[in-house]
Every structure is written in structure tokens, then in C-alpha cells.
Structure 1
Amino acid sequence: MIDLRRLQVLRVLRAEGTVTATARALYLTPSAVSQQIRLLSREIGAELLRPEGRRVRLTPAAHIVLAHADAIAAEWEQARADLAAHSAGAVGQVRVGGFATSFGSLLAPAAARLRDSHPRLEVQLRETDIDDSLRLLLAEQTDLVVLPVAGTPPLDDSRFDQQVLLDDPQDLVVSADHPFAELDAVRLAETAHETWIEPHHDQFQLIEVACAAAGFAPRVAHGAAEWNSVLAMVASGLGICLLPRLATTSPDHRVVRIPLRDEPAPSRSILTCVRRGSRAQPAIAAVLQALEDVARDRLRG
């Protein structure tokens, strides 16, 4: 009989690459991780790890086990969903991760709705970047994450179930005294000679692709990871940028956002991602439904 918890340790080790990182992801000690792998090796009757300097390498037998482990994990998640639907329904705790700009427009409103409609359901929100979100999900430290499509794993990744939640259009953002500020819409090609502010990596990748489609490469002078910093530089006239519709601005930012009239206009898809097999669990399904309702209302608005 194989212990599913030990299979999970092996799956996380594959994702993390080292015993130390696996221990950190699972809130275990490195010796406990090593012991779990040794016990799994004994259960299977095959060596799973081989030392390679200060690191370890998965053996061919480990890769064979892992080829089945994702399917086993998905079946177990589905079994948990069926049991939960049979017994208690949408109760308990759901831990939700998301990127910064998803909070004001999606996650916080969805959690507020659930507080009223499902008082026995506790929703915990946590801001995470893309890589951390997937690691936490795989390590069962998070139950659901909201991600921009850039940087996510392939849609056929056997560990995860990913579904598009909504498309998030990009607007041009300029200072209040910029010549474009009086316009109702702008074509991206009209910005070819402008100076650009570089935002965080995934967003700038989208900007580069959109500008290339418009026939130019953006001339970058400044950069920042946080939107408040980007908008402060835009407001000061240091450059322009593309801003996702989900990212909010305030009068304090002293910027103007202008729709793009390009066809198709630059946009990014926002996904929900759960462990494969867990989407039907009543508590997770309730959170997903609330997110879909908020997204639908936002698109109507």
C-alpha cells in the first residue's frame, strides 16, 4: 500500500528541485522530506533519488511513479469533492491566492459576496506572484489561484485545472497634461515615438508584443515593479504605459487612461487555477461561482 502523502512529497520535490526547497514548501524539515522519500522507495521497491553533488536527481523509477502520481492526485481530489457534496456542502475554509491587481476588482468583491451568501464558508485571500501561486497550490497550501495567462503552465498540465475567467483589456495611461489626454481613443502606432515606463516582467512582455504588432519597439527610459510607482512616473510626464483595466487609478495619480482602438486591442486573459480534480468540491465551486459572477458584472459595467 502506497501512502498518498509520500507521493505528494515526491511531486513537490519534482517541482521544487531540492530537498531543502521541498521542505520549505511543505513546512517540513529536510530530514523529514528525505525520510518520506526513503519510505516511499521502500513501499515501491525501487530507488527514487540519487545523490548528485550537493543535490539529488530523480531516478527513472521516480519518473515512472510521477507519471501516475498526477492522475492519482486528481482522482483523490475528485473523491474529496464527491464526499463533500454528499455531506456538508459549501462549508469550511478556502485559501485563495491572486496577483496584486486582481484584488480590488475580483477577489475582494467575491469574498464579500460569499461572506453574505455562505456564512459557513471562510475565504482567506493572499497576494502571491505567479510562481509562488503554483507552488503553494501544488503543496496544498492554497486551494485556488487567480492568474494572468502569461507565465502560467500549459493548459494540459496534468497537475492543474485552468479555466479562463475573463479578458482584461489594456488602456494607454498618460499624464494629465499629455497631448493624448484629450483624445477619446488612440491607436498604439501613434505612440511609437513616445518614451515608455517598463512595469513588471509579465506586463512588459505583453507591451512588447502589442507594440511589435503595431510596428515598433517601445523606447524604455524607466521601470518599476509596483503600479503606484509606474503611475507616479507617468503622472510626472516621464513616460507612458499600458495599464490593465483591472488595475485601478485614483485622482491622486493625476493620470488619464485612454482606450486603444486597435483591432484586436491588447488584452490579457485572467485564469482560475485549482488542483486537477478539485474544481467540483462545493467550497471551491462556491468561490469560483462568486468570481465568475463578479467578472460577469464587471464586463457588463
Structure 2
Amino acid sequence: MERCGTVTAAARSLHLTPSAVSQQVRQLGKELGVTLLEPQGRRVRLSAAARSLLAHADAIEERWRRAEAELHDVGADGPSGTLRLAGFPTAVCTLLSPAAVRLRTEAPRLTVRLREADPLESFDLIFAGEADVAVVEATRDAPPLTDTRFDQRALLDDPFDLVVSTDHELGAEPEASLPDLAAETWILGMPGSPCREHVLTACSRAGFTPEVTHQAQDWSLVGALVGDGHGIALVPRSVRLPGQEGIVRVRLAEAPPARRFLTLTARGAREHPAVRAALTVLDDLAGANAATE
């Protein structure tokens, strides 16, 4: 309920009825001799005792994962078992899929499974124990770094480049200055998307509000619209635009906006041999990507 917000949402995530969840929580409170749910208008909320209990539960869960990691520590043969990786499409293409290829050689006894998931869904998967490692983008809607259920650490910063059509006057230039783009027509992501917020913030700092002519979420579609001359766009450097003829990437003269990638695990799970192997490979890949920029 702390994570889901309401008893109904918590019940849905557990595949139970709201009444069953409420009954179990009240029964637990009865056994402990404390009140765990208290009324708040027409709903209920967690009491101070319930929040204290959750903090202890998170600490116990972390200690258990650390103990499990020690018990599964391995020698020269490397880790074994199944490792579940999750991430949004760009993270899968540029980091998680290459990581799985390397682990196939470096940890042959390990079976790696990949799953596409947007950042907020990745938190749910980690919390539910349905993924072991995720690569997420830092967003305002995500749980804070101080959330004791998760271990979030910076992996890499992904700067944005200007993308224009080949016949655009900037297509032959080595770089472009963002303030000089105020009169252009723009292609932006959908409202509420993190990348759209990055672009709007960068344009605001450059002293203008972009004229948005088209909106698209899929990067291949953004590339196609730019190539057809519908406008310009800022696209993260890690995004591949395969098969998009008629477009050119141009670096920005000033410090570009950037999105931050984070590795995400459950608190206490990083020392598990399989998880540790994956994080080591991801760090290497992130370093290699940064070195080529």
C-alpha cells in the first residue's frame, strides 16, 4: 500500500481482493498489538506504526539479500542460474543486449533474460522480484535515491544532439548553437515524456520557447519526420536511427541537455554473483560509450 497508494491498487498488484488485503493487514496489527490502518476521510492510510514496521521490513529484506549473495558466492566457474534484465528500448539496445552477449562468454553457466520495460515499470519489476537488474532513466516521477527499497546508481549521462535534414543549412556545419534555433520549427516528444522536458528546459535556458509542429514518441518516427523536412529535433546520442536517410546529427556548441541512466537493483542485491557480474559489464559498456563521444 505504501508503494501503490491505495488498498485497491495494492490488492490488484497482489492479485487479491481489497477486502482480503485489509483483513490481512488488520490481522497483522492485531497480532502485533498496534493499529496499522487508520481512517483518512473515506479511505484509510498507513499509521505511524505501520510505517515503522515497513522500515524494519525493508532492512530485513536487505540483510536477507546480502546473506543470499554470500551463500551464492562462486569461484572461478562464475555465477550460474537465471539473470533477469529490464530496461527501456534505448537501454536494451545500447547496454543490456550487448551486456547479455558478453555474459554469454564471460559467465557461460548464467542464463540471461531480457525484458523491455519503461522506467516506472522497472521499479515495479524490481520491487516484485520479477527482475534482478534494470537500467532506468532518472525522472521526477521515479522513487527518490533515498528510497530504502532500491539501490540506484549513476551509470552514464546521455547528451542530446541536433538532428536536421541533409538539405538544412546546418547539415554541413560541425556544430550549432541552441539560441540560433529559436526561429526553427520543432519535432518534440509527447507531453509528459522526460525527453520532451529536457528539450523544453534547454530551449528555455537558451531564451526561447520552441514552435512545436509535430509530436512523436518513437525515435524512428522522429527521424523520418526530420528527414522529410517537417522540422528539427534534439535526439539523445545513444539513440540509433537506423535506415534514416536524409538526416544529419550536429553537435551543440554549448553544453547539451542530457538524460541520466541509472542501474537499479533491490537494496542489498548488488553483491549477488550474477548481479555483480552484470553490473561490472554494464559499467564497462558505459565507460566505452563515454570514451567514444
SS in 2 for 1:14: coil
Matched, 1:203 2:195: yes
Other-structure match for 1:238? 230
Select which of 176, 184, 194 maps to 1:186.
176
SS in 2 for 1:66: helix
Q: CA deviation at 1:299?
A: 2.3
> CA deviation digits over 1:199-251, x for unaligned, max 9?
14100111112112222222212212211222222122111111111100123
Map 1:241-260 onto structure 2 (within 5 A). Answer: 241-260=233-252
Structure 1 consecutive aligned stretches of length 4 or more whose deviation exceeds 6 Å: none
Q: Give the AA of the match of 1:135.
A: D
CA distance in 1, matches of 2:79, 2:11: 31
For residues 255 and 54 of structure 1, do their structure 2 counterparts lie closer, same or farther at Cα, with a shift above 3 Å needed? Answer: farther
TM-score if structure 1 supplies the norm length?
0.87
CA distance in 2, matches of 1:58, 1:70: 16
Q: Is the 8 Å Cα contact of residues 219 and 241 (structure 2) preserved in structure 1? A: no
Matched, 1:277 2:265: no
Mean Cα displacement is larger for which, 35-44 or 204-213? 35-44
CA RMSD in angstroms, aligned pairs only: 2.2
Mean Cα displacement is larger for which, 99-108 or 225-234? 225-234
Q: Give the AA of the match of 2:173.
A: L
For residues 160 and 19 of structure 1, do their structure 2 counterparts lie closer, same or farther at Cα, with a shift above 3 Å needed? Answer: same
SS in 1 for 2:249: strand
Mean Cα displacement is larger for which, 229-238 or 48-57? 48-57
> CA deviation digits over 1:55-84, x for unaligned, max 9?
542223212212332222222221222222
Q: Is the 8 Å Cα contact of residues 25 and 135 (structure 1) preserved in structure 2? A: no
Q: CA deviation at 1:158?
A: 1.6
Select which of 26, 51, 57 maps to 1:69.
57
Other-structure match for 2:212? 220
Mean Cα displacement is larger for which, 47-56 or 215-224? 47-56
For residues 23 and 86 of structure 1, do their structure 2 counterparts lie closer, same or farther at Cα, with a shift above 3 Å needed? Answer: farther
Select which of 261, 274, 280 maps to 2:253.
261
Other-structure match for 2:123? 134
Select which of 74, 93, 105 maps to 2:82.
93
CA distance in 2, matches of 1:131, 1:63: 22
> CA deviation digits over 1:158-183, x for unaligned, max 9?
22111111111110011222111111
Select which of 88, 100, 108 maps to 1:119.
108
CA distance in 2, matches of 1:265, 1:18: 40
Q: CA deviation at 1:34?
A: 4.2
Map 1:44-59 onto structure 2 (within 5 A). Answer: 44-50=32-38, 55-59=43-47
Q: Is the 8 Å Cα contact of residues 175 and 234 (structure 1) preserved in structure 2? A: yes
CA distance in 2, matches of 1:95, 1:135: 14
Same amino acid, percent of matched pairs = 46
Q: Is the 8 Å Cα contact of residues 150 and 264 (structure 2) preserved in structure 1? A: yes
SS in 1 for 2:72: helix
Q: Is the 8 Å Cα contact of residues 86 and 92 (structure 2) preserved in structure 1? A: no
* Stretches of structure 1 lacking an aligned partner (at least 5 in a row): 1-12
